[in-house]
Amino acid sequence: MPNYTPELPENPSPILIIGTGGIVKDAHLPAYKIAGLPVWGLYNRTLPRAQSLADEYGIDHVFVDLKNAIQNAPTHTVFDIALPASVFADALRQLPVGAHVLIQKPMGENIEQAQEILTVCRERELHAAINCQLRYAPFVVAARKLIDEKRIGDLIDMEMRLNVFTPWHLFPFLEGIPRVEMLYHSVHYVDLIRSFLGDPRSVMARTLPHPSMDKLSSVRSAIILDYAAPIRAQITTNHSHDFGLKHQESYLKWEGTKGAIKAKIGLLMDYPDGVGDVFEYCERVEGKQPEWQTLEVEGSWFPEAFIGTMGEVQRHQADLLAGRNAKPMPCDVEDVIHSMACLEAAYESDRVGGIKPDRFL
């Protein structure tokens, strides 16, 4: 498996952030500040939002014209695109040939847009990665290390379980669009499972709305990624559990032939405040009862994971500029297109439905 903890270059390149929505405020900018990554400029269609963030983070350049922002960006700028997914391809066409770019997930709103993004990146020879930052969450990095060291044996089971109340009003752009939960949330888990287990043979899924959230097309999903036996992988999400914190759940679980790992993702409970992460693992020892241990893991999904995705792009560019053999970016568009294909398969499975029992009567 590729290394998911990239080292940052000694002299990182300047960053131009294109778009200043909530994810930039809550994750991109805090992460880059922690890592010491230089943000050269911000672009947004309206000035007040961008200027406010520029003032808060000491960013010198603010633009309301995208063409002007790109033309004035320094040589070897890394472009960080955080616009609506439907306009990614148009923005990519304006970047310099051969540029390095990090594109916010999802990779388009459907497989057609994903393919268009991939085509544009190929045509313009862009070194492009998708911001699948869950791969770099500290608890995921810790789990990958234990698994790579064979501490839990062979990985044969992955599960994401989410039963929370998500304040969707914080994301008004999702209201009225045809795809919500799987496209904008569960895509993280589909992509993460692929990063551990590879591409599934098939995908089965159901995604549903909730009466209390009638402006959203879906807020609950069940997804099975089908691998050859004995591997099992599934994702279950319910964002409408509005009954207090007592029975809310948010965890990733890995099970192997010799042990298991469970990571509580506290960020998603009582979002956006969160309740704190917990990382536990169990190694089965012959002759002893299974015993779970807690490992202190520094940082969380937001904002620390965002250092990882930008770090891989920065490292790739630094290697090329130094004439070194650049390792592939794990979240390269050439890889993430497969996550989008899995997502499209999930939507198709939801559309066609399952096998009707009365067929056997």
Topology (CATH) of 15-134+303-326:
Rossmann fold (3.40.50)
pLDDT at 7: 78
pLDDT at 14: 98
Rounded distance between C-alpha atoms, residue 71 and residue 149, angstroms: 47
pLDDT at 6: 64
pLDDT at 36: 96
8 A C-beta contact, residue 144 and residue 196: yes
Topology (CATH) of 138-294:
Dihydrodipicolinate Reductase; domain 2 (3.30.360)
pLDDT at 2: 46
pLDDT at 4: 54
Length reported for the chain: 361
pLDDT per residue of the chain (361 residues) written in tens, 0 to 9: 445 566 799 999 999 999 999 999 999 999 999 999 999 999 999 999 999 999 999 999 999 999 999 999 999 999 999 999 999 999 999 999 999 999 999 999 999 999 999 999 999 999 999 999 999 999 999 999 999 999 999 999 999 999 999 999 999 999 999 999 999 999 999 999 999 999 999 999 999 999 999 999 999 999 999 999 999 999 999 999 999 999 999 999 999 999 999 999 999 999 989 999 999 999 998 889 999 999 999 999 999 999 999 999 999 999 999 999 999 999 999 999 999 999 999 999 999 999 999 999 9
Q: What is the pLDDT of residues 243-267, one digit of tens each?
A: 999 999 999 999 999 999 999 999 9
8 A C-beta contact, residue 283 and residue 152: yes
Say what the pTM is: 0.95
pLDDT at 261: 98
Q: What is the pLDDT of residues 10-61, one digit of tens each?
A: 999 999 999 999 999 999 999 999 999 999 999 999 999 999 999 999 999 9
> Are 15-134+303-326 and 138-294 equal in CATH topology?
no
Phi, psi of 139 (to 5 degrees): -70, -30
The domain limits of the chain are: 15-134+303-326, 138-294
pLDDT at 251: 98
pLDDT at 146: 97
Of 131, 198, 130, 185, nearest to 158 (Cα)?
198
DSSP count for the chain of H helices, then E strands? 11, 14
CA distances from 331 to 104, 194, 320 (A): 11, 11, 17
Tokens read off for 154: 């062979």
pLDDT at 174: 94
Tell me whether residue 361 is exposed, middle or buried, using C-beta atoms within 10 angstroms of its C-beta: 0 to 12, 13 to 18, 19 or more. Answer: exposed
